[in-house]
Structure 1
Amino acid sequence: MQHKINLAMFVINKHIDFVEERIRKVEEINSKNQEIEFKKPTVAKYIKKSKKRNFDFI
């Protein structure tokens, strides 16, 4: 009986490790996506473009 309990605990712990690894990978992807969001054209870039064309954007 003790062997079965130990085996079950081992399987549960392995599964928890697997799930934690998946969560960590998803968090890495999310942080990379947020970095990409910041790299998208911002209002400041549009203001610079509009000044080149002599528009008062502000």
Structure 2
Amino acid sequence: MQEEGQRCIICEHYKTEGILILSEYICDACEAEMIRTDATDAKYHFFIHQLKQIWMEKNV
């Protein structure tokens, strides 16, 4: 079975609505959650880690 949409770099699910940053996809749900997450929240560090992958892959 083929997945529809693109794979989100944050949640790794395939979605059809989202944004591309340097050819990496972030779904609308993850984008919204990142915006609402406070910097003191433990999940904030997870988002930072996932987003670092965008820059690491482009600088290899």
TM-score (norm 2): 0.30
Structure with greater Cα Rg: 1
Q: Which has the higher strand share?
A: 2
TM-score (norm 1): 0.31
Q: Which has the higher helix share?
A: 1
